[in-house]
A = this chain, B = another copy of it.
Amino acid sequence: MNLKQLSEHLNLSQTTVSRALNGYPEVSESTRTRVLKAAQDLNYRPNLRAKGLATGRALAIGHVIPVSNQHEMVNPVFGDFIAGAGESYAREGFDMMLKLVPDSDETRAYEDIRARGTVDGIIVHGPVINDERIALLSRIGLPFVVHGRSTDVALPYSWIDVNNRGAFERGTQFLIELGHRSIALLNGLEHMDFAFRRRKGYETALRNHGISVDASLMRSEEMTEIYGYRAAKEMLSRSKRPTAFVCSSIITAIGVRRAVHEAGLVLARDVSIITHDDALSYLENGDDVPIFTALRSSVRYAGAEAADMLLSLIAIPKNAPKTRLLEADLIIGRSTGPAVT
């Protein structure tokens, strides 16, 4: 059943039927209801491909993941983010497209996305410091919103981000106030912008309290469980071991906890842990009383917001870039306590 058949069935022109269906004013109410009824009865649905071809809109949003950073896709944080975004899209009748793009020829890849015309805009994931994609996308004129920011990029662009620097400064300071002086940082990969900012925050807190930054207490890797375990195991085996850990993800924190247990130490008494991103759907941070003291901000909410920003950018292209900085809350859990001196 297509438009033509429907209009023949109704003894109307395609124009009228199309207008009736799409809510244009130049069609009488009686005709409109008649058309709507027939469409319903005959199970008519417009072909989106044809519609897109005619209107130039695809009714779809792309989520772009650099292949180099493919693990991103499998990162539970990503799942939460797109779950949030998905809700917004569904509400507006948009589809969500996942795209793995090779980093070899990014220019080509993004131009491709634009030229193929299968999406109206994209969400850029995993921005690095001075991310070239931002200039590229601005140049080729594909609407986009970045999940995160990119230090050193001067151009205006739309983004939504959590205050990573502020959160880590706050968290580190919290540990310092508990008396900790030897605080380890288990960061994500520091070419990623969010991780870079987190380190800045951590360092700022230390400096503010006259504690020297010790490179041997800082690690930067993909935020897996095993990473947290290995790093903590090694650090805890030192003669002068750290008394606290700041982790970039609850998954890493779980690894640290494993190492703490294995070393026969007790959480919060011998070793404190504070973590960011603790509110993942399948890995909730305990219930009323959180397991880990955490810097919490809803990734899912960020996803929904990012989607809404992008949709409005697409609806009104001349709009100026929008930005949104979310603050993480410090949630006190059972993984932190005063430093033993």
Binding site for B on A (CB under 8 A): 43, 45-50, 52-53, 58, 60, 70-71, 73-76, 78-80, 82-83, 86-87, 90, 95-100, 111-112, 115-118, 222-226, 229, 251, 254, 258, 261, 280-284, 286-287, 291, 300
Chain B positions within 8 Å of A48 at CB level: 116-118
Asked if residues A281 and B74 are in contact (CB atoms below 8 Å), the reply is: yes
Asked if residues A97 and B60 are in contact (CB atoms below 8 Å), the reply is: yes
A116 to B226, CA, bound (A): 44
Nearest B residue to A267 via CB reads B261
Nearest B residue to A226 via CB reads B284
Asked if residues B226 and A287 are in contact (CB atoms below 8 Å), the reply is: yes
8 of the cross-chain contacts (CB-CB < 8 Å) are: A45-B112, A70-B83, A73-B86, A74-B79, A74-B280, A76-B76, A222-B282, A229-B286
Chain B positions within 8 Å of A47 at CB level: 53, 115-117
Nearest B residue to A80 via CB reads B74
Asked if residues B225 and A45 are in contact (CB atoms below 8 Å), the reply is: no
Chain B positions within 8 Å of A258 at CB level: 291
5 closest A-B pairs by beta carbon, nearest first, are A45-B115, A74-B281, A48-B116, A74-B79, A96-B98
A96 to B100, CA, bound (A): 9
Asked if residues B100 and A87 are in contact (CB atoms below 8 Å), the reply is: yes
Given known A116-B48, A118-B48, contact A98–B78 (CB-CB < 8 A) = no
CB distance from A147 to the nearest CB of B (A): 16
Chain B positions within 8 Å of A100 at CB level: 86-87, 90
Q: Which of B71, B222, B225 contacts A283 (CB 8 A)?
A: B225
Q: Which of B78, B80, B116, B281 contacts A45 (CB 8 A)?
A: B116
A52 to B60, CA, bound (A): 15
Given known A73-B86, A261-B261, contact A96–B95 (CB-CB < 8 A) = no
